[in-house]
Amino acid sequence: MLEVKGVSHVYANGTRALDDVNLTIPRGMFGLLGPNGAGKSTLMRTIATLQAPTTGRIRFGEIDVLAEPDRLRRTLGYLPQDFGVYPRVSAYQMLDHMAVLKGIHHAGERRDAVEHLLNQTNLWAVRGKAIAGFSGGMRQRFGIAQALIGDPELIIVDEPTAGLDPEERNRFLNLLAGISESVVVILSTHLVDDVADLCPRMAVLAGGRVQLEGAPHDLIGSIAGRVWRRTVPHQQLAEMQASHEVISYRFFAGEIVVHVLSDSQPEGFTPVSGGLEDVYFTTLAEARRAPAEAAA
């Protein structure tokens, strides 16, 4: 279990990227959902001991993460949002090298581990090819292979499916789901579907604060009977936004499908069985409104 308590982070330029974040993350897949700039990467890097928070505490089981970063690193697998450079060495060589860095010094043990990871991530056939020539999906699968070296108990993946085509995305998410049973996996993403498909627990981060936490199923239940939809010509959108609590809208066949939140049925609207996307957009709308109301 990972416990994040009262974690705040203020960057040197004064940006408060995390503001009193409290989370309890059990074994299994945990979705951390939030829009661009929400603070997800800052939180992921902080848990991964790559940067220290301004205040707060983090525990992973017996480990005091901020006081014993090396101890955490030995049991951590981290797939950052961006590796930056991709080396011209083969996937096999790179994994072998990284396994040495992770402390697997026995050659036979290392060979077994590297071969197992290449098979697990479906990269065996391309093990001799340079990573620099890999497609986006292959790179992400390589990223998971390197994160899994040494059987980590805490795995952090930061926006892993951005830019993947649907088939590669599925392959990647299935791979993650397969490893998440006995370890803590934190999946940071701005894609609601990634969380809805896979995560038994989740939180929404926005403006550096945890806005919502729970099981997707329960959170969807919490908005049941309060989400309504109506299709309108796009000229009417501004009017709709002024008169209703619009949580989302999308263009469809030349018109706009509007979803609104309301305790009773607004005129001209039909009920929708809300999904996680409605929960997410409702949460973001409320998060945006809170500072505006406080200022007023």
Ligand X SMILES: Nc1ncnc2c1ncn2[C@@H]1O[C@H](COP(=O)(O)OP(=O)(O)OP(=O)(O)O)[C@@H](O)[C@H]1O
Asked if 251 interacts with ligand X (CB under 6 A), we say: no
**Options 40-48, 54-62, 90-98, 143-151: segment touching ligand X (CB under 6 A):** 40-48
The answer to whether residue 15 forms part of the interface with ligand X (CB under 6 A) is yes
Contact present, 262 and 244 (Cβ < 8 Å): yes
Sheet arrangement for strand 184-189: 76-79, 154-158, 184-189, 28-33, 201-206, 209-214
Establish if 41 lies at the interface with ligand X (CB under 6 A).
yes
- Residue 71, number of CB atoms within 10 A of its CB: 15
Does 190 interact with ligand X (rule: CB under 6 A)?
yes
User: In this chain, which of 21, 40, 142, 179 binds ligand X, going by CB under 6 A?
Assistant: 40
Between 15 and 243, name the residue whose CB sits nearer to ligand X: 15
Residue 17 lies near ligand X (rule: CB under 6 A): yes
Provide, rounded to whole angstroms, the least separation between the CB of residue 34 and ligand X: 5
Note whether 38 binds ligand X by CB under 6 A. yes
Among 34, 143, 152, 216, binds ligand X (CB under 6 A): 34
23 in contact with ligand X (CB under 6 A) = no
Taking the least distance from each CB to ligand X, the nearer of 15 and 265 is 15
What's the rounded Cα separation, in Å, for the pair 282 and 279? 5
Binding site for ligand X (CB under 6 A): 11, 13, 15, 17, 34, 36-42, 190
